[in-house]
Amino acid sequence: MGLFNLPASEYKDIHEVHLLILNEELDKHQNIELEDLISKAKSSLEDKNVTTYIHYLNFYDEEFATQLFEVFNSHHLFDRPILLDITSCPHPVLMPIGEIFISHMNKAVTLAYLVPKSYDIDLIREIEKQELPGEIRRYGLVRRNDDVLALIAGFESEKAKRIVEEIQPEYGYLLNDIFTSDLEQASIAKEKMKLHHEIIKLEHFKQFHLPRYDLHRIMNSCQLIHSFHPDKNIIFACFGSKIQRVGVSLFVSSEPDLALIDIVPQELSFKRISSGLKDMLFYQLKRNLNSEGEN
């Protein structure tokens, strides 16, 4: 598995490339944060002469992983230190990013993420109902049955219930940021618990803490669950924060015996579910290479 130096609140490394991936189905006039994303990312870097590449891809196309690989390949990004902005990336996009990093990147990658001030939970629930039923997709190892489901809880309770019904696991873990000293985060966690009360009541499900923004601890938590069931088929499903999804995707991509399941909506909504800017987080990823490679 790769070595990850995480996170860096004042990250000041020198990058050659700033990569921003946007959804081609989203009208450009709706990307009101685009210039803000670029300027904030660049202002955090020591080298202000960073080349910015902006690519519009179809996030939900079955060929997205191939398209993303071509973006990296066309700009020779596998051997260049890059800053990758994941703020506008939905969950299905983050698994191919994890696979590319684990399998192909030879230089350090810094992920940038703008943390919003607030979320419209009611709107999230409304959009979820519009998007269901969606297509179930599996990533990683495909098997006949999965014994253990590690479900990262978010505000999308209908998706979570559908995954539980789809997998019907022998063992289950409901992961959430339930233990926190931050009053705001505690309030958010409480709302999530209300939405997932039906799953919590299932006897074969145990609750498990998963940090919201600490990528290193997120991956450690995944590793811990993996160690609990060395002889079982484990599948992950993540409807939590984007950083939680990044951690899960990186971990699943680095372990050949694991899988990840997702629900891709049939009908997309482009309504804004968050507002404001609370913070900007940076996560430096550096992969361990063999003796013939370079760090």
Domain ranges of the chain: 3-117+276-286, 121-264
CATH architecture for the domain at 121-264: 3-Layer(aba) Sandwich (3.40)
DSSP string, 139-205: EE---S--SEEEEE--S-HHHHHHHHHHH--SEEEEEE--S-S-HHHHHHHHHHHHHTHHHHT-TTE
CATH architecture for the domain at 3-117+276-286: 3-Layer(aba) Sandwich (3.40)
| Residue 248 main-chain phi, psi, to 5 deg | -65, -45
In angstroms, the CA 116 to CA 67 distance is 28
Contact 255, 127 (CB under 8 A): no
pLDDT band of residue 3 (cuts 50, 70, 90) is very low
Q: Among 5-9, 11-15, 106-110, 116-120, name the one with the lowest average pLDDT.
A: 5-9
DSSP string, 43-102: HTSS-S--EEEEEEE-TT-TTHHHHHHHHHHHTTGGGS-EEEE-TT--HHHHHHHHHHHH
Contact 77, 9 (CB under 8 A): no
* Helix H or strand E segment including 227: helix 215-228
In angstroms, the CA 176 to CA 210 distance is 5
pLDDT of residue 247: 92
In angstroms, the CA 99 to CA 254 distance is 8
pLDDT band of residue 283 (cuts 50, 70, 90) is confident
Length reported for the chain: 295
Q: Among 50-64, 136-150, 177-191, 227-241, name the one with the lowest average pLDDT.
A: 177-191
pLDDT band of residue 292 (cuts 50, 70, 90) is very low
- 198: its two tokens: 């039906």
pTM score, whole prediction: 0.81
CA 294 to chain centre: 27
Name the percent of the chain lying above pLDDT 70.
Answer: 75
